[in-house]
Amino acid sequence: MSLLGFSAGLPFLLVFSTLSAWLRDSGLALSTIGFFSWIGITYSIKVFWAPVVDRTPIFFLTGRLGKRRSWMLSAQFLIALGLAGMAMSDPQAHLQQIAIFALLVAFGSATQDITIDAYRIEAVDRLLQGAMAASYVFGYRVALLVAGAGAFYIAAAQTWQHAYFTMACLMGVGIITTLVIAEPDHPVSAAAGDLENELGRKLGLESNHHALTRFAAWFTGAVVSPFVEFFRRNGLLALVILLLIGTFRLSDITMGVMANPFYLDLGFSKIEIANVTKIFGFFMTILGAGLGGIFVLRYGIYKPLMVGAILVPVTNLFFVWLAMSDPDVVSLAVVISMDNLSGGFATSAFIAYLSSLTNTTYTATQYALFSSLMTLPAKIIGGFSGIVVEAAGYAYFFLYAGLLGAPALLLIIYLMRKSADDAD
C-alpha cells in the first residue's frame, strides 16, 4: 500500500506546486500560474469516468491482471509518458505543449487514484482501513518529498527538464508494484443487486436483446445505482455529507497554489525551499498523520475530523505572520512545522471518513465521487489565487484562504450532533 501510495503521490505535485515553481522560475506571471492550477480540476471530475473503471475490462490486460491492476497499470504508463513529454518542453517556448502533457499526467494520475482507492478499500477488512490509510499517506508523502524536494534539487543542479525526466522514470515503482501484487476480491452485496434489479424493472430494462437496452442496463448499474444507493442509505443527510466533503479542503488547496511562488518571492533559494518545506515538512507530515490515525482509533472519526478542520485554517495565520516578517530559515521552519503537522493529521482523519462512506459493491465509483468533490471547489477557487495575491498581497491572501475553512468546521459540528441524536 505504501508503494502504491508513492505511485499515487508522485505525479500530483508535478502538475501542482512543483509545476508552479518551474513556471515562476521561468518568469511567468502569477496570474498565469494560478490559471495553470486548473489542470488539477481533472482530479475533481474523475467521478465521470470512474464507473467505466469500475465496470469495463481492458482488452488483453484485464483477463491477465484483473480489474483493478489492469487499469492501474495503464494509468501508470500514461503518467510516465506525460512526464517525459513535459521534460522535453520549455515553458517560455512551449507553454501550450506543457499544458497538454500536464493534462495527460493529471488524467492518468486521476485514473490511477480511482483504482488505488478501490484496491485500498477492497484489499482488507474495514477494521484495517485506518492502517491502510496510514500506509497510503506514508507512501504518498514520500512521493511528495521526491516530487518536491527531489525535483528542486535536480533543477538546482541541472534543469527542470532533467527533474521531470527523472520523475517519469520513478513511475517504474508503481508499475513494478502493480505487476507483483494480487488482485483483491470484489464483493457484491445482495442489497446492491436488489437495487440494480429494482432500477432495471422501473426503467423497463429487463430485456437485453437490443444494444441500446444493454447499454442502458450497464449505465444504470455502473453509474446510477452507486448514487442511488448512497442517497438511499443516508437520506437527506447525504447532501450535508457531500457539502462537507466539498468544503473540507478549501483552505489548504487554495493556499497550496501560491506556496512555492511565495517562498521564491520571499527570496529563499530552491535548496532552502527543498530542505525546509519538503524534507523537514515530510517528517512533520508523517508525525501528524500518525497522530491522526491514533486519534481515529481512540476517539472515532468525527472528533479527529473536527480537530483537523480547526488546525488547517488556523495554521494559515502563521503564513500571514511570515509574509509580514523579515524572512529567515528558522521562521520558515516554524511555519512549515505547523502547516504539515496539521495537514497530516487532517488527511488521515479525512481518508478514514471517506472510506467509511463507501459500499464495497461500488467502491471505485463512490470513492471517486467523494474524492472528486473533495477537490473540485478548491481547485476552481484556487485558480484565482494569483489574482488575489496580485491585488491584495500574500498576507491578505493567506488570511482569506484560512477563512475558507470555516464552512467545513460548522458542518462537522452539525454532523456530530446529528450522530449523537441518532445514537440516543
The grid cell for 48 is 465521470
Chain center to CA of 147: 15
Count other C-beta atoms under 10 Å from residue 208's C-beta. Answer: 13
Residue 111's pLDDT band (cuts 50, 70, 90): very high
> What length does the chain have?
424
Lowest mean pLDDT among 59-68, 125-134, 342-351: 125-134
Mean pLDDT of 112-130: 85
Residue 62's pLDDT band (cuts 50, 70, 90): very high
Q: Torsions phi, psi of 238, nearest 5?
A: -60, -35
Higher pLDDT, 375 or 74: 74
What pLDDT does 100 receive? 94
Residue 387's pLDDT band (cuts 50, 70, 90): confident
CA–CA distance, 341 with 344 (Å, rounded to integer): 5
Residues 190-223: pLDDT tens digits? 677 777 778 777 777 666 667 777 777 777 877 7
Q: Torsions phi, psi of 109, nearest 5?
A: -65, -40
- In the predicted model, is pLDDT for residue 72 greater than 90? yes
Please tell me the number of Cα atoms within 13 Å of 151 on its side-chain side: 33
Mean pLDDT of 234-257: 88
- In the predicted model, is pLDDT for residue 155 greater than 90? yes
Three-state SS annotation for the chain: CHHHHHHHHHHHHHCCHHHHHHHHHCCCCHHHHHHHHHHHHHHHCHHHCHHHHHHCCCCCCHHHHCHHHHHHHHHHHHHHHHHHHHHCCCCCCCHHHHHHHHHHHHHHHHHHHHHHHHHHHHHCCHHHHHHHHHHHHHHHHHHHHHHHHHHHHHHHHCCHHHHHHHHHHHCHHHHHHHHHCCCCCCCCCHHHHHHHHHHHHHCCCCCCCCHHHHHHHHHHHHHHHHHHHHHHHHCCHHHHHHHHHHHCCHHHHHHHHCHHHHHHHHCCCHHHHHHHHHHHHHHHHHHHHHHHHHHHHHHCCHHHHHHHHHHHHHCHHHHHHHHCCCCCHHHHHHHHHHHHHHHHHHHHHHHHHHHHCCCHHHHHHHHHHHHHHHHHHHHHHHCCHHHHHHHHCHHHHHHHHHHCCHHHHHHHHHHHHHHHHHHC
CA–CA distance, 379 with 44 (Å, rounded to integer): 8
85 neighbors 104 (Cβ within 8 angstroms):
yes
What pLDDT does 423 receive? 63
Domains in the chain, please, with CATH? 2-183+235-423 (1.20.1250.20)
CA distances to 56, 208, 218, 221, 416 from 205, rounded to whole Å, are 19, 7, 10, 11, 41
Mean pLDDT of 332-352: 87
Q: Torsions phi, psi of 159, nearest 5?
A: -145, 165
Mean pLDDT of 370-391: 82
Residues 255-304: pLDDT tens digits? 877 887 888 888 888 788 878 877 777 888 888 888 888 888 788 888 99
Residue 424's pLDDT band (cuts 50, 70, 90): low
- 10: closest CA among 91, 116, 132? 116
Residue 86's pLDDT band (cuts 50, 70, 90): very high
Mean pLDDT of 35-54: 85
What pLDDT does 127 receive? 67
Longest dimension (CA), the chain: 73
Chain center to CA of 43: 7
Maximum mean pLDDT: which of 5-9, 254-258, 342-346: 5-9
CA dihedral sign of residues 116, 119, 124, 126: positive
Report percent pLDDT > 70 for the chain.
96
Which DSSP letter does residue 147 get?
A: I
What pLDDT does 176 receive? 97
